[in-house]
């Protein structure tokens, strides 16, 4: 027999029994057992109806165990529960999403993307039947790789200019935020 991969076999579901009674015993895997008074054997709670004693003892064991079944997935030893999952209740995510400031300057395009803006237009004119974005991107990438440094120079200059403008705008933006933070803390101190 060939060894089976873990991807082809999904995790089995296991019935977990919750009871308030102390008459049950637990195995290491979490399954519950109850003692049959007629034959004095430990019977798995999930299999009480298959036990071969009298009907009265089965009914009594069922009533004692008060079975409430929760279906849970069997987890492999390497798997861990996600902290942010909805299964963990009462805990907050360690990483909360930052709210992006709408006034924050947008990052500039790189030289390649500036090149692609023009390339898309010329490619569409040359190939009006081609509708695939992937083909356009692939052709653009191949063209960019085949270009010399001299051919790339105008795009690199535009990208450098836009990056300098972005950095100035970010300095101005950050300075404005620092003033707001300091202004808010000064007003707190006066009160």
Residue 85 is assigned to a structural domain of this protein: no
Closest CA to 155 of 105, 107, 119: 119
Tell whether 186 and 131 lie within a shared domain: yes
Instruction: Give the domain extent around 34.
Output: 13-73
Average pLDDT over residues 25-33: 73
Write the pLDDT tens digit of every residue in 124-181: 999 988 888 999 999 999 999 999 999 999 999 999 999 999 999 999 988 887 777 7
Write the pLDDT tens digit of every residue in 153-165: 999 999 999 999 9
Residue 32 is assigned to a structural domain of this protein: yes
Q: State pTM to two decimals.
A: 0.44
Q: What is the DSSP string of 38-82?
A: TT--EEEGGGGGG--S-HHHHHHHHHHH---EEEEEPPPTT----
Average pLDDT, the chain: 75
Angle between helices 111-126 and 149-190 (to 10 degrees): 130
- Number of domains composing the chain: 2
Domain containing 169 — which CATH number?
1.10.30.10
């Amino acid at each position: 027999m060939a060894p089976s991969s873990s991807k082809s076999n999904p995790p089995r579901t296991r019935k977990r029994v919750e009871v308030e009674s102390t008459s049950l015993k637990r195995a290491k895997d979490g399954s519950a057992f109850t003692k049959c008074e007629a034959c004095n054997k430990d019977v798995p709670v999930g299999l009480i109806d298959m036990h071969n004693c009298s009907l009265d003892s089965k009914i009594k064991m069922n009533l004692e165990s008060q079975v409430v079944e929760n279906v849970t997935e069997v987890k492999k030893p390497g798997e861990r529960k996600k902290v942010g999952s909805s299964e963990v209740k009462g805990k907050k995510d360690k990483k909360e999403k930052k709210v992006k400031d709408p006034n924050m300057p947008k990052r500039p395009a790189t030289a390649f993307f500036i090149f692609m803006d023009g390339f898309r237009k010329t490619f569409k004119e040359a190939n009006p039947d081609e509708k695939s974005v992937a083909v356009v991107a692939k052709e653009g990438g191949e063209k960019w790789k085949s270009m010399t440094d001299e051919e790339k120079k105008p795009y690199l200059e535009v990208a450098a200019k836009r990056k300098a403008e972005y950095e100035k705008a970010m300095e101005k933006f950050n300075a404005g935020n620092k003033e707001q933070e300091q202004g808010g803390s000064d007003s707190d101190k006066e009160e």
